[in-house]
Each structure stands twice: as C-alpha cells, then as structure tokens.
Amino acid sequence: MKIGVLGYQGDVEEHISTINSISKPDRNVRGMRVTKRSEIDACDGLIIPGGESTTIYKLILEYGLYDYIKEKAVDGFPVMGTCAGLIILAAETGDDRVRGMGAVDVSIRRNAYGRQINSFIKEINIKGIGSFPAVFIRAPVIDSAGTADVLSYDDEKPVMVRRGNVIGMTFHPELTGKTNIHEYFLHIIEGERSTSTGDLSR
C-alpha cells in the first residue's frame, strides 16, 4: 500500500517516517512524497500535511492540483488533512488566501489560538482511538463541524473530524511518535478498498 504525502511544504518527512514505521511483514505500507497528479494516482491515500496553509494552497494551485484533489476526495479517495491540511480540506476558512475545498463540512478559523508561542501539547480522547497526545502548533479552531462526525473535542471545540473517507485534525499526529491516527487512516483505506471491490462482508 502506498500513501502519498503532499510534498510542497510542511511536515512531509515526519508523515512519511510515521507511515513507514507502521509497515509490517504482512502489511507493507510505504509513505512517499507526491507533488504531481501521476504520483497521487499511484497511491491508495493522500495526506495533506501541516505547515503554512497559504503556501501549500498556492502551490496546489500552481501545480494545477486543486480541482483534482477536491474531486478525488469528494469521490471517495481517502484523504487525511492535518492542521494546515485540514484548513485546505474545509468548507469555510474565512480567508480568501486559502479557499477550502469543501471535502469536509467544517468552518475553520486560522491561527485562532494566537501566535506561535500559544502552541501546546494536550492529551485528548479520540473516538475509536482513545487517548492521544495532541500537538497544537498555531492551530486553527473548528467553529462548526456541519455534517462531519466529530471524533474528538478539546474544550468543547471539535479538534478531529471525519466525513466518510476524509479525516482531518487541527493538531499534528506526526510529531508524537504515536502511530494510532495513521493506523486509523490505513483502516479507512482498507475499508474503501473492500467496498470498491464489492466485499461488503466486514
């Protein structure tokens, strides 16, 4: 199985090494940096990493991938967005410099906790995963989760959401040494695969 990590800017290597660390003899998983359509097409899922959403957004446009990723995500291709990645997948960003794709129905506000100094680590509880040390770095805040399933809240604000094949979180799971969220994403991919091959037995 190959997981692409959109490789323009941000925590690309950290996601790739987290993905590679969950590979097992009976389940070969490889993370790879992707910047082009053909590279994404060779993958079973895509991660849009955290970083600077305005920069990542600009490069997605420059490489002509905006509509392509949006359509793929809406069509059922598994996509995970972390922090800046979730801003790009959101329905509403309130910021013209980053138009959300609407792949997950959330309204998000950039840098809502304040400046870099207001970054923090907090243990949160995630539905289907359990306790997780969430690293928030100049994180956005989800003001409304619309029709998305909320998998985790912090201080009554959603911090992790899912809409079918798309998951997103306002924190950085790739910086913790913990692999549960990446494994959860693999389960989504495996679910998509069994559905697309007609295996509805699970």
Ligand X SMILES: NC(=O)CC[C@H](N)C(=O)O
Q: Which residues contact 104 (CB under 8 A, 6 or more apart)?
A: 81, 86, 89, 90, 91, 148, 161, 162, 163, 166, 167, 168
| Residues counted in the chain | 202
Query: Which residues from 70-99 bind ligand X, rule CB under 6 A?
Result: 83-84, 87
Judged by CB under 6 A, the residue of 110, 162, 163, 182 near ligand X is 110
Q: How far apart are CA 10 and CA 14, in angstroms?
A: 9
The active-site residue, picked from 14, 15, 43, 83, is 83
Indicate the residue type of 54. T
Q: Is residue 137 annotated as involved in ligand binding?
A: yes
Query: Rounded to the nearest 10 degrees, what angle do helices 180-196 and 12-21 cross at?
Result: 70
Binding mask 118-157 for ligand X (x = CB under 6 A): -------------------xx-x-----------------
Instruction: Answer for the pair 84, 56: CB distance below 8 angstroms, yes or no.
Output: yes
The active-site residue, picked from 174, 182, 187, 190, is 174
Number of residues counted as binding ligand X (CB under 6 A)? 12
Query: Which residues from 32-71 bind ligand X, rule CB under 6 A?
Result: 50-53
The footprint of ligand X (CB under 6 A) covers 50-53, 83-84, 87, 110-111, 137-138, 140
**Residues classed as catalytic:** 83, 172, 174
